[in-house]
């Protein structure tokens, strides 16, 4: 397999790093020229990576193509290219159904979708792929845990869930800053909170038979500090606000709502 990327931004950098680091498959990879500094950096770091002169040159030299441009420009970028029936296409573009992508990359017929996350660079990402038995599943297997997803509706729900990454760091930052304001060195506060959450994430994985509500109860002494904070947040609508925000993101992630003209760096 020769793997080509259309769009060399944040997620491409993470995937290429995960695939090319020692111990990875390190298959031949060809990058589209934008972003030039990310593309040049990856080609300098990894022997298996080269930068093509154009997007079309990626198609002409690769059999498997990963679409990794932003949703807003995807139709225009693809409309300028000539795909072949032999191309296998894996789309990372949020909010674009497989049918919509198929219309943009015809005559290629082998289309799948995937949601790799930035932690593919460290090979510890959950990676949702649709359909489950697609080439995307084996391609991403070295980069974390692949979740084969049976329907696009389910994939879009998981895509929505990934929108919580930045908010997670917002939550962590708010707590760290609050603690640091009490006089603890900022770095120590940050390290402590990160370790606290790492431990909880480990518990969530190990105790997968227990519901989140059970785990919350197990981490709350009756009348204690955890119970107080959880009740305060619940009573003030924080979790309802989270649900409302997920509903709003879901309308975009499932293509029900048009995308704004500009978008944040990560989808
Ligand atoms: N980031 C994530 O965690 C993540 C996860 C899953 C899926 N995705 C999806 O992956 C896609 C890319 O996301 P991203 O976060 O990597 O965005 P990004 O960092 O903005 O990367 C997109 C890249 O596309 C390049 N580009 C712009 N115009 C181009 C053109 N005409 N031809 C080829 N490349 C062009 C940009 O180059 P310039 O910098 O020169 O403009 C930029 O480097 C999105 O559709 C997103 O929904 C992202």
**13: CA distance to ligand 1 center in Å?**
10
Domains of the chain (ranges; CATH) run 3-150 (3.40.50.720), 163-253 (1.10.3730.10)
**What was the pLDDT predicted at 255?**
86
Tokens 């930068």 belong to which residue?
51
**131: CA distance to ligand 1 center in Å?**
23
d(CA 192, CA 196): 6
The answer to whether 79 touches 100, Cβ cutoff 8 Å, is: no
At 162-207, the pLDDT tens digits run 999 999 999 999 999 999 999 999 999 999 999 999 999 999 999 9
E-assigned strands of the chain? 3-6, 29-31, 49-51, 64-67, 88-91, 110-115, 125-130, 144-148
**In this model, does residue 256 exceed pLDDT 80?**
no
Cβ–ligand 1 distance for 13 under 6 Å, the answer no
**84: CA distance to ligand 1 center in Å?**
23
At 32-69, the pLDDT tens digits run 999 999 999 999 999 999 999 999 999 999 999 999 99
String of b and e for 32-69 (b: at least 16 CB within 10 Å)? Answer: bebbeebbebbbeebebbebbeebeebbeebebbbbbb
Cβ–ligand 1 distance for 4 under 6 Å, the answer no
Cβ–ligand 1 distance for 73 under 6 Å, the answer yes
The answer to whether 116 touches 14, Cβ cutoff 8 Å, is: yes
**How would you class 176 by CB atoms within 10 Å of its CB: exposed for 0-12, middle for 13-18, buried for 19 or more?**
buried
At 93-134, the pLDDT tens digits run 999 999 999 999 999 999 999 999 999 999 999 999 999 999
C-alpha dihedral sign at 241, 247, 253, 256:
negative
**9: CA distance to ligand 1 center in Å?**
5
- Cα dihedral: 204, 264, 248, 246 (round 10): 0
Name the residue of 18, 33, 35 to mutate for ligand 1: max ligand atoms within 8 A of Cβ: 35
Cβ–ligand 1 distance for 8 under 6 Å, the answer yes
Q: What's the full length of the chain, in residues?
A: 267
**What was the pLDDT predicted at 260?**
59
């Amino acid at each position: 397999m020769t793997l080509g990327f259309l769009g060399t931004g944040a997620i491409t950098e993470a995937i290429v790093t995960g695939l090319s680091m020692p111990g990875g498959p390190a298959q031949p990879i060809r990058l589209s020229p934008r972003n030039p500094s990310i593309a040049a950096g990856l080609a300098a770091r990894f022997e298996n990576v080269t930068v093509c002169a154009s997007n079309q040159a990626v198609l002409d030299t690769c059999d498997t193509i990963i679409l990794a441009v932003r949703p807003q420009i995807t139709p225009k970028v693809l409309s300028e290219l000539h795909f072949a029936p032999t191309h296998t296409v894996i789309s990372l573009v949020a909010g674009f159904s497989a049918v919509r992508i198929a219309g943009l990359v015809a005559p290629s017929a082998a289309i799948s979708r995937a949601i790799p996350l930035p932690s593919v660079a460290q090979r510890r990402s959950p990676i949702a792929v649709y359909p489950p038995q697609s080439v995307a599943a084996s391609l991403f297997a070295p980069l974390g845990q692949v979740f084969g997803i049976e329907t696009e509706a389910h994939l879009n729900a998981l895509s929505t869930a990934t929108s919580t990454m930045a908010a997670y760091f917002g939550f962590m930052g708010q707590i760290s800053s609050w603690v640091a304001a009490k006089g603890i060195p900022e770095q120590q506060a940050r390290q402590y909170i990160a370790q606290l959450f790492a431990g909880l994430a480990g518990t969530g994985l190990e105790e997968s038979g227990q519901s989140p509500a059970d785990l919350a109860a197990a981490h709350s002494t009756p009348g204690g500090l955890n119970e107080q904070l959880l009740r305060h947040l619940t009573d003030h609508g924080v979790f309802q606000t989270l649900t409302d925000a997920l509903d709003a993101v879901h309308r975009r992630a499932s293509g029900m709502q048009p995308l704004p003209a500009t978008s944040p760096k990560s989808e």
